[in-house]
Structure 1
Amino acid sequence: MNKKNAILGAAFLTATSAVGPGFLTQTATFTQNLGASFAFIILIAIFMHIVVQFNIWRVIAVSKLKAQDIANKVCFGVGYFLSFLIILGGLAFNIGNVAGAGLGINTIFGISPILGACISALIAVAIFINKDAGGYMDKFAKLLGGFLIIMIFYIVFESNPPLGKAAKELISPSNFDAFTLVTLVGGTVGGYITFSGAHRLVDAGICGKENLSEVNKSATSGIIIANIIRIFLFLAVLGVVSLGVKLEPSNPALTPFEHALGNLGLILFGLVIWAASITSVVGCAYTSVSFITSFHPSIKKNENLIIIIFIIFSTLVFATIGKPVEILVLVGTLNGLILPIALFVILIAAYKKDIVGDYKHSKILAILGFVITIAMAILSFITIKDYLLQL
């Protein structure tokens, strides 16, 4: 296995796992709601993204263990609970990812979203039929991740956003919304997302103190890739809404593409949402299943088959129900609690010698990590409580 390919592949895997249909919709909607002030929230989210990613990736790398095994070593049973949350949350997200892929093909070719979802699922399944599924997954994530960056940058160029205003609001925002920040952070490093690349590096054998520099490079690259896409999409939407154009309520991320390029924009948007969705299907399925592979040798032996079943089941739910039922929506909401639980466990593990040996974890990273854990736990609890009251 090419070590450089695996390192870059892990970076693209974690970035493209974050960049799904929800990512596109949220970024467009928040840009419309907050305008140029959204730049400041993106900046804070990037800072939190860095803290979370480096805390989790470094401890996983040094321990040479996946997150569920680290959690079980900290307190037996927590790893099983974390895996349960990750898999349920991953299933809820993957139904949305499959739906997004179906919508993309529907936009490009005009066929039904369900048929488009089935075709997309077959493409994702094809990756895991191969013995070298990891290598194919790395190449797939890099190829479509690069495509996303190029396409969205092109729309930024065409939409001509007010860069001066965005720069001013980046430093001195005129508007701020805490729950937008929570949603943004949760959608970037919440649930399974932050573990995608870290677990990929463990599977590729790129772990241990001797490989920390490579792990840091991969984590940094993943952060840069995800946030370049976020910033470009923000600027593209800002360029449109600053002209007074209202976003399409049912599909807000489509508007800047259609406004800038007309019918060609529709096709390009179809390609973008398909690429974002299909890479998220792959990343979500791989990472969700990676949370149970260490529980029994037979699971590890049949890992690719279980991933394929996960993808097919997600597709069948979308094809038969059309969209997630209330319980899946609730599971997706509960997914917001995964970040503070997982980050807290990882931070405790960072100071247990039976897990990390003589590794000395950064005190600054740890302190910032605990602050984010507490803040996200409080805000996630409030969000879930408000959601339950609305049922």
Structure 2
Amino acid sequence: MAEKKKESGSAASVLIGAAFLMATSAIGPGFLTQTAVFTDKLKAAFAFAILVSILIDIVVQMNIWRILGVSGKRAQDVANEVLPGLGYFLAFLVALGGLVFNIGNVGGAAMGLNVMLGVPFVPGAIVSAGIAIALFLNKEMGKAMDNFTKILGVIMIAMVLFMVFKTQPPMALALKETVLPSTIDWMTILTLVGGTVGGYITFAGAHRIIDAGITGMENLPKISSGSVKAISITGIMRYLLFLAILGVVATGAVLDPKNPPASAFLIGAGQIGYRIFGVILWCAAITSVVGASYTSISFLRTLFGKIEQYSRYWIIGFICVSTAIFSTMGNPVALLIVAGSLNGLILPVSLGVMLLAAFNKKIVGADYHHPKVLAVLGWIMVVFTAWMGFKSLTGIAKLFS
């Protein structure tokens, strides 16, 4: 009996760690900028967009976590079973998108240290990369990663909560607009969804629980609960950040378009607010470096024997390459734009594959019955995100023509 309790506690800890890994992978430099820009644009009505995006994210996350968790297989292996070769295509998309976004994540970490302590960008990027690499050199890599994302996730939420008290947003108006919005912007909602569960992000937690062996029908309730917790953490952070920035823009203050979230924190709490933003940015960026590197390589592990054998060193190499590119090129804007479009295509492809797998008994087992409502809502999301991805690619084609 004591052994079972120990295993249960360990599983609970891993599930919370997986939830924070997914959530902090979503909460990166882009997340902070996106939230500031949309709060400035929609004001209190942005609250409704956050609520709807959270509900959609839960549908996406529950579909993917349940299917992968029950099958005990990573996304690329499920994709290969649905259609031979598709797993390689999906792994290529995720790894490429993850690498390019990781350059941005490293850049965000460097900027965070610069704001906090005045550290120059390149040394800041190298120091941040070194911290991330140290996690993957740890013998208990998974546990170290879980604890790191939990601690930094809590720090981010606590600091944003402080800013909410400092900026004193119009709470009654925000709560009213959450359920009775004066403006509804569906493109904003879909953009939030893509930024929260697009690309590699939605698989970060799912692949983590598979690595920890929390799979099969017997763990289904825990897996479903973990998927909702992951989105809840992201949603809490998004809503608190929205409130903190709303308290600034509601006064009529104009945010600096070059760095909207930094200017919001500076206006809201002076130099202390600016330093707090540096801490939040560094925490958001470094946890995204960890999540992007771990998840991108996890998509290649089962496809290539050498990567499976030396996975931690491939993750470290992934971080080193991202840091080297940032240190020599900065944030390559064209690459980031193209990667953003590729990221938009990953969700409809990967979610569609998962939904096809949900009713394949060879993949999920004879005893598993995927909820039809979840499947229908999932297919609606496939159509919406595919349309959004197509629009994004069309825009890129015009930009480079």
> Does the TM-score normalized on the shorter chain lie above 0.5?
yes
Amino acid at match of 2:316: I
Q: CA deviation at 1:179?
A: 2.3
Match in the other structure for 2:398 = 389
1:305-355 CA deviation, whole Å, 9 max, x = no partner? 000000010011111001125234212222101000000000000000100
Match in the other structure for 2:369 = 360
The one of 168, 171, 175 equivalent to 1:167 is 175
- Indicate the SS of the match to 1:191: coil
TM-score (norm 1): 0.98
Note the aligned Cα RMSD (angstroms): 1.1
State the alpha-carbon separation in 2 of the partners of residues 265 and 327 from structure 1: 32
Match in the other structure for 2:3 = none
Match in the other structure for 2:40 = 32
Match in the other structure for 2:234 = 226
State the alpha-carbon separation in 2 of the partners of residues 130 and 298 from structure 1: 20
State the alpha-carbon separation in 1 of the partners of residues 202 and 153 from structure 2: 17
State the alpha-carbon separation in 1 of the partners of residues 188 and 40 from structure 2: 12
Match in the other structure for 1:7 = 15
State the alpha-carbon separation in 1 of the partners of residues 243 and 215 from structure 2: 37
Q: Retained in 2: the 8 A contact 1:155–1:256?
A: no
- Indicate whether 1:104 and 2:112 are aligned: yes
Amino acid at match of 2:149: A
The one of 197, 201, 204 equivalent to 1:196 is 204
Match in the other structure for 1:114 = 122
Q: Retained in 1: the 8 A contact 2:65–2:206?
A: yes
Amino acid at match of 1:374: V
State the alpha-carbon separation in 2 of the partners of residues 384 and 298 from structure 1: 34
1:9-45 CA deviation, whole Å, 9 max, x = no partner? 0010000000000000000000001111111111110
Q: Retained in 1: the 8 A contact 2:54–2:232?
A: no
- Point out where structure 2 has 5 or more consecutive residues left out of the alignment: 1-6
Amino acid at match of 1:142: K
Q: CA deviation at 1:176?
A: 2.6
Q: CA deviation at 1:48?
A: 0.7
- Indicate the SS of the match to 1:266: helix
Q: CA deviation at 1:298?
A: 2.3
Q: CA deviation at 1:169?
A: 1.8
Q: Retained in 1: the 8 A contact 2:113–2:279?
A: yes
Q: Retained in 1: the 8 A contact 2:100–2:335?
A: no
TM-score (norm 2): 0.96
State the alpha-carbon separation in 1 of the partners of residues 147 and 169 from structure 2: 32
Q: Retained in 1: the 8 A contact 2:76–2:87?
A: yes
State the alpha-carbon separation in 2 of the partners of residues 104 and 171 from structure 1: 34
State the alpha-carbon separation in 2 of the partners of residues 258 and 77 from structure 1: 50
Q: Retained in 2: the 8 A contact 1:159–1:256?
A: no
State the alpha-carbon separation in 2 of the partners of residues 346 and 138 from structure 1: 25
Q: CA deviation at 1:242?
A: 0.3
> For 1:1-391, what aligned pairs fall within 5 Å after superposition?
2-358=10-366, 359-391=368-400
Task: Tell me the percent identity.
Answer: 50
Q: 1:138 to 1:65 in 2, by over 3 A?
A: same
1:232-267 CA deviation, whole Å, 9 max, x = no partner? 000111110000011121111113322232111121
Instruction: Provide the aligned length of Structure 1 versus Structure 2.
Output: 391
- Indicate the SS of the match to 2:257: coil
Amino acid at match of 1:228: I
Between stretches 231-240 and 321-330, larger displacement belongs to 321-330
State the alpha-carbon separation in 2 of the partners of residues 240 and 321 from structure 1: 34
State the alpha-carbon separation in 2 of the partners of residues 12 and 193 from structure 1: 11
Q: CA deviation at 1:223?
A: 1.1
